[in-house]
């Protein structure tokens, strides 16, 4: 389920609500991306609890496959969650690199997500 937010500068952001069924495949995400894009959104916010655990296990390749979709379709993404206690060095590096590039952002709050996606 999506909620749409006006950014105040004429753009719209879509948010996948936390109570939505888990996103466990790239196809699940493409449905949200299509709906968001159809409604004029330039960015999508997803809460980390909505992503299946395989997303955060980089060995599965799910994160890379899903995030590649955002690059291909030129839509920005913010994943909201607490990423401070991640033990995997590879995942910490992945998050840091993603945040540096700006298309994919791992943030601590919805407010930070809006700020990142609207700059």
List pLDDT tens digits, range 58-104: 999 988 888 888 888 889 999 999 999 898 999 999 999 999 988 89
Q: What is the CATH topology of the domain spanning 2-117?
A: Transcription Regulator spoIIAA (3.30.750)
- The pTM of this model reads 0.92
State pLDDT tens for residues 44-65: 999 999 998 888 999 999 888 8
Average confidence (pLDDT) over 94-117: 92
Q: Is 32 exposed, middle or buried (0-12, 13-18, 19+ CB in 10 A)?
A: buried
Confidence at residue 92, expressed as pLDDT on a 0 to 100 scale: 94
Residue whose structure tokens are 């969650």? 81
């Amino acid at each position: 389920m999506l909620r749409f937010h006006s950014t105040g500068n004429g753009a719209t952001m879509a948010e996948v609500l936390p109570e939505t069924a888990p996103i466990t495949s790239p196809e699940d995400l493409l449905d949200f991306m299509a709906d968001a894009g159809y409604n004029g959104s330039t960015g999508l916010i997803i809460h980390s609890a909505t992503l299946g655990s395989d997303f955060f296990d980089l060995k599965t390749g799910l994160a890379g496959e899903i995030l590649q979709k955002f690059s291909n379709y030129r839509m920005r993404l913010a994943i909201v969650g607490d990423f401070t206690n991640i033990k995997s060095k590879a995942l910490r590096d992945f998050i840091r690199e993603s945040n540096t590039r700006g298309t994919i952002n791992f943030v601590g709050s919805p407010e930070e997500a809006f700020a990142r996606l609207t700059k």
